[in-house]
């Protein structure tokens, strides 16, 4: 199948996925580029279709996946690719993927889970970097509370470098999911400049969910009331603080060190 016109009804639906309200309404999102599409295929994401530049053909890196069950491959014009992607110089392929809504239960059922919780973290780059760090540290999932950057934003997904498909990443109401987690035996830990425990003396074994707050104002009052423990990341230099993604990465890797090394 080939689509050349930007006025094709399917193309109009795809282009709408660049906006959050339409991603929510359609229950789908777009990913761009060979690497992300390959990761989605490898990790069996719910791919509806893959659109590639019909003048260039299916990229060689993806050609072996052409027979993947349930995935429609569609040749499109360069104009269609430009309309449906948000990069300045788009790559010659994008995919439309259905959202996975079952992952919150998967995280809650996991024993001794290491999870990162984002409370109103608004920068897509920070959110994407944290998802990538969580993947690298072997975390069991990432939960984004309301007010955080949209995880299905193309910028967020790009900055995960494919890690988005390697572990559960869930949007949830923290006032609902955190009490459920605590009932299941999870300990919630956040950072505080007033904390007595260093992150290096704190015990990250067992079920530990690390809460990272907003870049400017930290963890919200409502969420802070649910937090069990606070730690400080010691600093020898003169920098006032680490940004949210760096702080999350330090805590995740210290947790990984304690749990696995």
CATH of the domain at 65: 3.30.1330.30
Q: Note whether 121 and 65 are same-domain residues.
A: no
Range of the domain at 243: 103-260
Q: Note whether 94 and 134 are same-domain residues.
A: no
Q: Note whether 18 and 84 are same-domain residues.
A: yes
In CATH, what number is assigned to the domain containing residue 183?
3.40.1280.10
Q: Note whether 234 and 154 are same-domain residues.
A: yes
Q: Note whether 85 and 111 are same-domain residues.
A: no
Angle at 115 between CA 113 and CA 121, to 5 degrees: 170
Q: Note whether 140 and 255 are same-domain residues.
A: yes
Q: Note whether 91 and 114 are same-domain residues.
A: no
Q: One digit per residue, pLDDT tens: the chain, 261 residues?
A: 899 999 999 999 999 999 999 999 999 999 999 999 999 999 999 999 999 999 999 999 999 999 888 999 999 999 999 999 988 788 899 999 999 877 788 899 999 999 999 999 999 999 999 999 999 999 999 999 999 999 999 999 999 999 999 999 999 999 999 999 999 999 999 999 889 999 999 999 999 999 999 988 899 999 999 999 999 999 999 988 889 999 999 999 999 999 999
* Length in residues, the chain: 261
Task: Give Cα separations from 258 to 87, 96, 173, 191, 206 (angstroms).
Answer: 40, 39, 30, 18, 11
Q: Note whether 7 and 81 are same-domain residues.
A: yes
């Amino acid at each position: 199948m080939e689509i050349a016109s930007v006025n094709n009804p399917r193309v109009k639906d795809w282009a709408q996925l660049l906006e959050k309200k339409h991603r929510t309404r359609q229950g789908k999102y777009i990913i761009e580029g060979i690497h992300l599409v390959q990761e989605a295929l490898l990790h069996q994401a719910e791919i509806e279709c893959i659109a590639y530049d019909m003048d260039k053909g299916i990229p060689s890196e993806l050609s072996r996946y052409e027979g993947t069950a349930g995935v429609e491959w569609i040749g499109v014009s360069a104009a269609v690719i430009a309309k449906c992607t948000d990069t300045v110089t788009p790559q010659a392929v994008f995919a439309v993927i259905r959202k996975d809504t079952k992952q919150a239960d998967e995280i809650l059922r996991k024993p001794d889970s290491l999870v990162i919780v984002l409370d109103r973290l608004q920068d897509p780059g920070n959110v994407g970097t944290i998802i990538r760090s969580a993947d690298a540290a072997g975390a069991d999932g990432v939960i984004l509370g309301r007010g955080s950057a949209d995880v299905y934003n193309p910028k967020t997904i790009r900055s995960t470098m494919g890690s988005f498909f390697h572990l559960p990443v869930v949007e949830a109401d923290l006032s609902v999911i955190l009490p459920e987690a605590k009932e299941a035996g999870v300990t919630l830990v956040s950072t505080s400049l007033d904390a007595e425990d260093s992150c290096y003396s704190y015990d990250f074994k067992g079920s530990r969910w690390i809460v990272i707050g907003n870049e400017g104002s930290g963890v919200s009052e409502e969420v802070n009331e649910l937090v069990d423990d606070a730690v400080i990341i010691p600093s020898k230099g003169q920098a006032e603080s680490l940004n949210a993604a760096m702080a999350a990465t330090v805590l995740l890797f210290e947790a990984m060190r304690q749990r696995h090394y």
